[in-house]
Amino acid sequence: MLNTHHIARTLQRFACLSAALLASAVGAQVAPVATEQRVMEIVESRCALCHGREGVSSSPIYPRLAAQHPDYLLKQLQDFREKRRKSDTMSDMVKGMKDEEFRGLVAWFSSRKPAFRQPSDTDLAEVGKYIFTKGNPFSGVPACASCHGPNGHGTQQLPRLAGQHPVYLESQLKDFGDRERTNDNAVMHSVASKLTALEVHAVAVFIGGLQ
C-alpha cells in the first residue's frame, strides 16, 4: 500500500506535468487538461489492461508507455482517433475522447518510471548495439542513435525506445518495412526496409536493455 508521502509526491508530479501541458503556442491561450479523477478513470478502465496502470505492460506485444515523451504520445493518440495510425483496437479505445483527456493521459504516463530488462543473449545484443550506434554502411542503414539518441531516449517528436519490449519493437520495424504502419512512415520505411530479420531482432534486443 502506498504511504501518504508517496501519494502526495505522485500527485505533485502529475500536477506539475499537467500544468506544463497547459501552455499554448498561441498567445496567452491555454490548452485544457482533464481532471485527475477523469484521467485515472480512463487509465483504469481503458489503458491498464494492456499497458499497465504505470505504463509498464506485462505483455511484450503491447508497448511500454512509461516515461514516453508527451508530444509523441499526444500525436499517437490523436492519430489513432483520426485513424491516421491503423489499429482497430486503439481506434475503438480512443473513439470520442477529447484532446483534454489525451493531455491528461500523456501527463500521467510520461511521468511514470521506465522499465527495462537485461538481454539474455549478450552476443545478439552486441550485434544490435553495432546497428544501433553505427548502422550498416554496407546496406545503407543509418545508426538508430542518430535520431533516437545514444541512449535511445528520443526527443519530443521521436519516441523513447530505451527499455521497450523487443517483441513490440520488432513488430513495429516489420510494419514500417512493409508499410503496414500508417503514420510516421516516411523516414522509418527507408530504414526498416533495409534491415535483415537478424538485424531487426538484434537491435530490438539491444534497445530493450537500454535504460
Domain ranges within the chain, ordered by starting residue = 4-110, 122-208
**CATH number of the structural domain 4-110:** 1.10.760.10
Nearest alpha carbon to residue 158 among 81, 72, 86, 98? 72
Amino acid at 69: H
**Which residue blocks in 95-196 are alpha helix, DSSP H?**
99-110, 122-134, 145-148, 166-177, 185-192
Same fold across 4-110 and 122-208: yes
Q: Tell me, what's the pLDDT at 15?
A: 52
- Given a cut of 50, is residue 182 above it in pLDDT? yes
Residues contacting residue 100 through CB under 8 Å, at least 6 positions apart: 31, 32, 33, 34
**43 vs 156: CA distance, rounded Å:** 22
Q: Which fold has domain 122-208?
A: Cytochrome Bc1 Complex; Chain D, domain 2 (1.10.760)
Nearest residue to 142 via CA among 172, 209, 187? 187
Measured in whole angstroms, the distance separating CA 135 from the mean position of its chain's CA atoms is 22
Number of Cβ within a 10 Å radius of residue 91: 15
pLDDT in tens, 3-59: 545 545 554 565 555 555 544 444 446 799 999 999 999 999 999 999 999 999 999
Residue 68 C-alpha cell reads as 514516453
The torsion angles phi and psi of 10, rounded to 5 degrees, stand at: -60, -45
Q: How far apart are CA 108 and CA 70, in angstroms?
A: 9
pLDDT for position 26? 42
Q: How far is residue 155's CA from residue 149's CA, in Å, rounded to a whole number?
A: 8
C-alpha neighbours within 13 Å on the C-beta side of residue 9? 6
- Higher-pLDDT residue of 74 and 8 is 74
Tell me the one-letter amino acid at 45: S
Tens of pLDDT, residues 78-127: 999 999 999 999 999 999 999 999 999 999 999 999 999 999 999 999 99
pLDDT at 14: 57
- In this prediction, residue 142 carries a pLDDT of 97
200 contacts 170 by C-beta, under 8 angstroms: yes
